[in-house]
């Protein structure tokens, strides 16, 4: 089943004052996002990630192309009941408490009375704000506001959750907790679509990713498939022998002493480990293990985009 279907999606913005000219932000994007699991929308600054999310939410109108969300067009109000959204920098009425705010949002989705209060309490508990629910939001840190934003995205128990840079502004503990919540949502059978430039988060969380660059789709696939295609080297553990023998046998090989007279060797991809295995007896050594080093999602991203990765914490 497909949760999101995008066909030939294009968006032009007019730029300039006297003679406005169109500037293409998204160019013929076609993509299918399966229902259930976590999907990452990745790309450098200006790649078209935020434009894509705004088009999905109906906040922008496409120049051309088609979008289906849960089998319906983005403007269908029935879809809104089944959708949750967290913007990158959520802003709320800071004189309200988190409990008051979430109770209000629950009411917007038709919940009343005790059901509304219970739903607000449940989502605040889920994001770890149960102890601070009655504090005004003006006293919250940026990371706590991000958690409130995640709570409001979940208050209607959505089937599809769209998160724009959900780790923005979080400290390491907060990032760990939000990662765990996103993973739980995917395991619960919900579809989570999130944009990010933090590739380690995407590699850990996502079942599939799509990479945009200059408004175009340049890579799409399952993370496990994308990162297992290329062997970048070999990690070999041996027992016995001398470090100098290994360095002399293959200059440039990294040799790391381990406990118990063992060594870890990192061989380049063009040096097959079989040649080392054959040479080990003459060095008075024995093989313990061989494992290939695979490309990380960052390696795959850089090859696809052709430019350095945006450092964590840098705006898109």
Q: How confident is the model at residue 105 (pLDDT cuts 50, 70, 90)?
A: very high
Examine the pLDDT at 299 and tell me if it is beyond 90: no
- 2-82+158-227, CATH topology level: Rossmann fold (3.40.50)
* DSSP helix/strand/coil, 201: helix
Determine the pLDDT at residue 229: 67
Sheet of 191-196, strand order: 83-86, 160-164, 191-196, 37-42, 208-213, 216-222
Of 128, 138, 123, the C-alpha closest to 93 is 138
Q: How confident is the model at residue 272 (pLDDT cuts 50, 70, 90)?
A: confident
Chain region(s) in the chain for CATH 3.30.70.3100: 231-294
Examine the pLDDT at 144 and tell me if it is beyond 70: yes
Task: Specify the CATH architecture of the domain 231-294.
Answer: 2-Layer Sandwich (3.30)
Chain region(s) in the chain for CATH 3.40.50.300: 2-82+158-227
Determine the pLDDT at residue 316: 43
Rounded to whole angstroms, the Cα distance separating 194 from 56 reads: 12
Task: Name the average pLDDT for the chain.
Answer: 88
Q: How confident is the model at residue 74 (pLDDT cuts 50, 70, 90)?
A: confident
pTM: 0.79
Planar angle of CA 311, 11, 38, nearest 5 degrees: 50
Rounded to whole angstroms, the Cα distance separating 252 from 264 reads: 14
């Amino acid at each position: 089943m497909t949760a999101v279907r995008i066909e030939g999606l294009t968006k032009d913005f007019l730029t300039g004052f006297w003679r406005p000219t169109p500037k293409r932000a998204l160019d013929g994007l076609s993509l299918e996002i399966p229902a259930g699991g976590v999907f990452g929308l990745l790309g450098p600054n200006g790649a078209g990630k935020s434009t894509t999310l705004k088009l999905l939410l109906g906040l922008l109108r496409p120049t051309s192309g088609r979008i289906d969300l849960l089998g319906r067009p983005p403007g269908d109000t029935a879809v809104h009941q089944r959708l949750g959204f967290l913007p990158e920098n959520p802003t709320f009425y800071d004189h309200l408490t988190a409990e008051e705010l979430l109770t209000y949002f629950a009411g917007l989705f038709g919940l009343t009375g005790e059901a509304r209060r219970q739903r607000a309490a449940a989502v605040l508990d889920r994001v770890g704000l149960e102890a601070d629910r009655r504090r005004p939001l003006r006293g919250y840190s940026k990371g706590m506001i991000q958690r409130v934003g995640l709570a409001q995205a979940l208050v209607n128990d959505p089937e599809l959750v769209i998160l724009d840079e959900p780790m923005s502004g979080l400290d390491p503990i907060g990032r760990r907790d939000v990662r765990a919540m996103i993973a739980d949502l995917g395991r619960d059978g919900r579809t989570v679509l999130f944009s990010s430039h933090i590739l380690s988060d995407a590699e850990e969380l996502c079942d599939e990713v799509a990479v945009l660059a200059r408004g175009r789709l340049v890579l799409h696939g399952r993370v496990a498939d994308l990162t297992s295609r290329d062997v970048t080297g070999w990690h070999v553990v041996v027992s016995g022998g001398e470090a100098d023998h290994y360095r002399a046998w293959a200059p440039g090989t990294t040799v790391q002493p381990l406990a118990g007279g063992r060594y870890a060797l990192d061989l380049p991809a063009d040096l097959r480990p079989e040649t080392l295995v054959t040479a080990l007896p003459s060095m008075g050594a024995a093989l313990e293990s061989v494992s290939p080093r695979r490309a990380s999602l960052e390696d795959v991203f850089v090859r696809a985009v052709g430019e350095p990765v945006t450092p964590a914490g840098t705006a898109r």
